[in-house]
Amino acid sequence: MTNSLENKSILLGVCGSIAAYKACELVRTLRKQGADVTVAMTEAATRFVGPVTFAALTDHPVMIHQFPPDPEAGVPHVEIAESFDAVMVAPATADILGKAAHAVADDLLSTLLNIVDCPVLFVPAMNFRMWENPATQEAVARLRGWGRRVLDPEVGELATLHVGVGRFPEINRVLSELREILDIPQFYAGKRILVTAGPTREPLDPVRYISNRSSGKMGYALAEAARDFGAEVTLISGPVALESVPNCRMIGVSTAEEMLAAVEQECGCQDILIMAAAVADFQPALPSSDKISRSDKPISIELKPAPDILKVIQKKFDGTIVAFSLQGESDLEPARKKLQAKGADYIVVNRYDEPEAGFESETNHVWVLSSAGQEVEISPDRKSVVARKILEHLAQDDT
Ligand SMILES: Cc1cc2nc3c(=O)[nH]c(=O)nc-3n(C[C@H](O)[C@H](O)[C@H](O)COP(=O)(O)O)c2cc1C
C-alpha cells in the first residue's frame, strides 16, 4: 500500500483563468511526488501561460488542438482519454464547468472530458460573481450529481482585488482531493502534525559547535508521508543539507534551546508531535564569546545537559507524542523504560550500529513501541517507506 502519487498518470487540464500560472506549481509538486503529468490546455489557457512552460515542466508534449495540422493515424483523443489514472482540471473556468455539465465537446479538453471514465477533479477559480452565477452553480451541482469531484474555491482576495469566493485553493487541498479520488488513504485528513528533524548545533565559540551526524532524512520522510496522508504539517528542522519539503510549513532552528522554543510555540494547535530530531544531550556550559585560540596544550570543555524537549513538552501537550530513540543494542528494554519515563505515547527505536540504518543512511530499520505495550518491527527499507509504515501503524493502532 502506498500513499504516494508515484507512477500515477495524471491528465491536467488547464483553462483560461488568471490562476493558470498556479498550474505550473501544481505540476512541479505532482512530479516531485512521483506522478507522471500530461497537460491539455484550452486555447484560452495559452493566452495566460505558454505551452512551452508546461512541456518543460512535464517532460511531455502539451496537447491543445483537437484538429492538429498533421493528424495522427487512428483516433488519438480516444486513446489518450483511456490512458490516465485521474483527470484534474485546474484551474477550471466557468466555461469548462458549463461545457462538461452539458456534454459540449468543441475543443480537445472538453472532448477528453466527455470520454474519460477515470476519476475527475475540477478545481475552479474565477471571479466571485462568475462562481455565484446560477448557471455555474447548476453546472457544479450536475457534475457532482454524476460523481465528478468539484472543489469549492476559497474565499479571499481575487485578481480584481475584490474579496469573495473564487480563489484557486491551496495546493495541499488540491492534492489531498486528488489522493481521495485515486482512493489513496487519507488517514490524517484534518489533523495537524508537528515533526522535528535533524541535529542541533551547540556553540563552543562564535565559529565552532558540537553536533551529531543526523542527516534529518528520517524526519523529512515522516513530514512528507504525513503530508501525503492528508495532514497539515509543520517541520521544525535543525541544520541539514536537504531540500525543504514542499507544502509543509518549515521552521529552521540551530540549537536545542531554539528547537525547544519553536516546539513550545507551535505545539498548542497540533494533534500529533513526532520528535525525530537528534537534539544534543549535552552542550558547552560556557560558550566563549570570542574564537578560542589555538593552543599546544590540551583544553577542557565543560558540558552541561541540553534542554530535554520531550520532558518539557510532555507536561504541556495533550495530543499524541511520538518519540525517537537511537540505540546500539537489540534489547528493547531501555526503550520501554524511556517510553514510560518520558510519558510519550510511542517510541520509535532505531540502531546506530546496524548497517543501512540510523543516521545518514537512506534506509532504516525500526521498532515502534506503544505505551499500551504493543511492539511492532518495521523491516529495513527506504526511509520514505519506513515513514509511511510508521504513520500507517499509528493511524491503525487502536490499543
Ligand atoms: C484577464 C482574464 C482573466 C480571466 N480569468 C478567468 C477566471 O479566473 N476564471 C474563469 O472562469 N474565466 C476567466 N476568464 C474568462 C475565460 O478566459 C473565458 O471564459 C474563456 O473563454 C475560457 O475558455 P476555456 O474554458 O476554454 O479556457 C478570464 C478572462 C480574462 C480576459
Which tens digit of pLDDT belongs to each residue from 100-139?
Answer: 999 999 999 999 999 999 999 999 999 999 999 999 999 9
For ligand 1, atom 3, which residue shows the shortest CA distance? 18
Q: Which residue's alpha carbon is at the smallest distance from atom 28 of ligand 1?
A: 17
> Is 276 found in the same domain as 177?
no
pLDDT in tens, 60-104: 999 999 887 777 766 667 777 788 999 999 999 999 999 999 999
Predicted confidence (pLDDT) per residue in 317-343, tens digit: 999 999 999 888 778 898 999 999 989
DSSP 63-125: B--SS-SSPPSS-HHHHHHTS-SEEEEEEEPHHHHHHHHTT---SHHHHHHHH--S-EEEEE-
Do 140 and 46 fall within a single domain?
yes
Contact 214, 277 (CB under 8 A): yes
Same domain (yes/no): 201, 255 = yes
Query: Is the CB of 233 inside a 6 Å radius of any atom of ligand 1?
Result: no
Least confident of 150-164, 217-231, 234-248, 324-338: 150-164
Residue located via cell numbers 469573495: 164
Query: Is the pLDDT assigned to residue 33 strictly greater than 90?
Result: no
Cα separation values, 252 from 229, 234, 361, Å? 23, 11, 22
Q: Are residues 197 and 171 in the same domain?
A: no
Position 80 scores a pLDDT of 79
127 and 203 fall within a common domain: no
Q: Which residue has the CA at smallest separation from atom 11 of ligand 1?
A: 93
For ligand 1, whether the C-beta of 94 sits within 6 Å is: yes
Claim to verify: residue 220 and residue 143 sit in the same structural domain: no
pLDDT at 399: 61
- Residue 189 above 50 pLDDT? yes
The predicted model gives 366-392 an average pLDDT of 93
CATH of the domain at 263: 3.40.50.10300
**93 CA to middle of ligand 1, Å?**
6
Q: Are residues 106 and 219 in the same domain?
A: no
Q: How far, in Å, CA of 41 to CA of 64, rounded?
A: 5
CA–CA gap between residue 94 and residue 91 (Å, rounded)? 10
Write down the catalytic residue from 212, 247, 350, 364.
Answer: 212
Ligand 1, atom 2, lies closest to the CA of 18
CB of 95 closer than 6 angstroms to any ligand 1 atom = yes
Give distance in angstroms: CA of 18 to centre of ligand 1: 7
Instruction: Report the CATH number that the domain containing residue 51 is assigned in CATH.
Output: 3.40.50.1950
pLDDT of residue 176: 86
Cα(90) to centroid(ligand 1), Å: 12
Q: pLDDT tens across 372-382, in order?
A: 999 999 999 98
Q: 221 and 343 share a domain?
A: yes
Number of domains in the chain: 2
201-224 per-position pLDDT tens digit:
999 999 999 999 999 999 999 999
Q: Do 152 and 87 belong together in one domain?
A: yes
Ligand 1 contact, 104 CB (< 6 A):
no
Q: Are residues 14 and 124 in the same domain?
A: yes
Task: Kindly state whether residues 137 and 27 are assigned to the same domain.
Answer: yes
Buried b (16+ CB within 10 A) or exposed e, 143-177: beeeebbbbebeeeebeeeeebbbbbbebbbbbbb
Atom of ligand 1 lying closest to residue 16 CA: 27
Determine the distance separating the centroid of ligand 1 and the alpha carbon of 115, expressed in angstroms: 23
Q: Which of 161, 181, 201 is the last residue of a domain?
A: 181
Predicted structure pTM score:
0.72
- Residues 232, 335, single domain; the answer is yes
User: Is the distance from the beta carbon of residue 17 to the nearest atom of ligand 1 less than 6 Å?
Assistant: yes
In ligand 1, the atom with minimum distance to the C-alpha of 19 is 8
What is the Å distance from ligand 1's center to 44 Cα? 7
Q: What is the dihedral angle through the alpha carbons of 98, 100, 103, 105, rounded to the nearest 10 degrees?
A: 100
How do residues 11-20 score in pLDDT, each as one tens digit? 999 999 999 9
pLDDT tens, 259-269? 999 999 999 99
With the most atoms of ligand 1 within 8 angstroms of its CB, the residue from 49, 54, 93 to mutate is: 93
Domain membership of residue 342 (yes or no) is yes
Q: Which residue has the higher pLDDT, 156 or 136?
A: 136
Domain that holds residue 226: 192-287+302-394
Specify whether 350 is catalytic: no
pLDDT at residue number 1 = 43
In a domain, 296, yes or no: no
Question: How far is the centre of ligand 1, averaged over its atoms, from the C-alpha of 287 (Å)?
Answer: 61
